[in-house]
Amino acid sequence: MENKLNQLRKAMDSTTHKGLHFTEAQKHNIRYAVQADDSIKHKKPNAFVLFAVATFTICLLAFFVSTEWLTRESNEPIQGGSISPNKWEVTHDYKEDGEVVFSIFPDPELQAEKPYGYIFHFNEPFATFKGKELSISAVHKETGERMQVLPPQPITEPSTGYSSLQRFTASFQVPYSGLWRYEVSLDGDAYGNVVVNVAEKQADEMVFPEGLPEYVQERDVEQIDWNRKAVTFGGNLIGNENQSGIIGADMPSLTGQKWMWHLWDTKAAELTVVGFHRDTQTVHPVLNHGNGWTIALGGENNGADVHTPSSVTIPERGEWAFLLYADREFFDVIVLEINE
């Protein structure tokens, strides 16, 4: 046993415990390995990689936050109301906190390019409106065009027969079909809005009666400018100054009247008058109490080159255009409002 231990000691002394245990090459390799391991542990991260990771994280966070905000905004009403300016759903009621503040009742036949009456039913007490100015603007969804359809109206009394503005009426027209947002304002401050759908303008079928002179053309009626209202000139003439005018039409009514027609810059011998009613799109004779179309013209009078008196009868209320033909040629149009 002792001999075996002595042999083992000799073997160990010859390897690890005596003499040179590592060669210079082994020492170099060990030092290199230790230094390499230390550099790996303490090497700083790449700055570009850190920047890229940070930027991506921030952008991702911003995306989720903005998406959340936009989703909430698109689903929430504007402050104080139930209709967002960015939403275009047809609604005739404006609500706040679930309660109807006002409603609109448009004409069932509502069309573009035609005037229609609207009824606004306001639910708040009259004190809310008294002494203020109420106005209405219209915004078209497709074009973004905005226009004031009702100029500021001073509110001094409730709707007739009501305690407040339960029957506030307005009449206006919009030029395009599609969705329109009507915005109501009080003293210039937004009060509320509703969205209505306006149909395309339908071609009106004009009704021409039997016996209408053949030189009266449909295109003459189509070219009527309803904004060119008759004006007063020369003291007591109503019409278009220095072109055509009527004495006796300053208070037009549905009862029979005497009118004296005047034309300038013509020596015509005959005058044809064709009455056109805007609302019904119908043509009527008005001369000789509604029995005739044409009368003879006389000489100069009141500065006009020719003139003639006649009896007239207007069959119904509304806007009228009186188309004048001098010796069978289209001459002028006089536009009058007749409501009495």
pLDDT at 76: 39
Nearest to residue 195, comparing CAs of 114, 299, 111, 88? 88
Under DSSP, the state recorded for 235 is T
pLDDT 10s digits, 136-151: 999 999 999 999 999 9
- Look at 45 and 237; give whichever has higher pLDDT: 237
Give the tens place of pLDDT for each residue, 211-256. Answer: 999 999 989 998 999 999 999 999 899 999 999 999 998 876 677 8
| Token pair belonging to 248 | 């006796």
Structural domain spans, the chain: 93-198, 218-338
Residue 155 pLDDT more than 80?
A: yes
Angle at 175 between CA 170 and CA 179, to 5 degrees: 80
DSSP state at residue 270: E
CATH number of 218-338: 2.60.40.3830
- Name the phi and psi angles at 289, rounded to 5: 55, 40
Q: H helices of the chain, where?
A: 2-12, 24-42, 47-75, 218-222, 287-290
Residue in the block written with tokens 């030029």: 175
Domain 93-198 has CATH 2.60.40.1930: yes
Residue indicated by tokens 């509703």: 194
296-325: string of b/e by CB count within 10 Å (b at 16+)?
Answer: ebeeeeeebebbbebbbbbbeeebbbbbbb
The answer to whether 321 and 280 have CB atoms below 8 angstroms apart is: no
Express the helix, strand and coil content of the chain in percent, nearest 5 each.
20, 35, 40
Mean pLDDT of all residues in 2-18: 53
Q: For 43-52, 111-120, 236-245, 275-284, which range has the lowest pLDDT when averaged over its residues?
A: 43-52
CB 310 within 8 A of CB 294: no
Mean pLDDT, all residues of the chain: 83
pTM score, whole prediction: 0.45
Across residues 87-109, what is the average pLDDT? 95
Domains 93-198 and 218-338 share a fold: yes
pLDDT higher at 249 or 132:
132
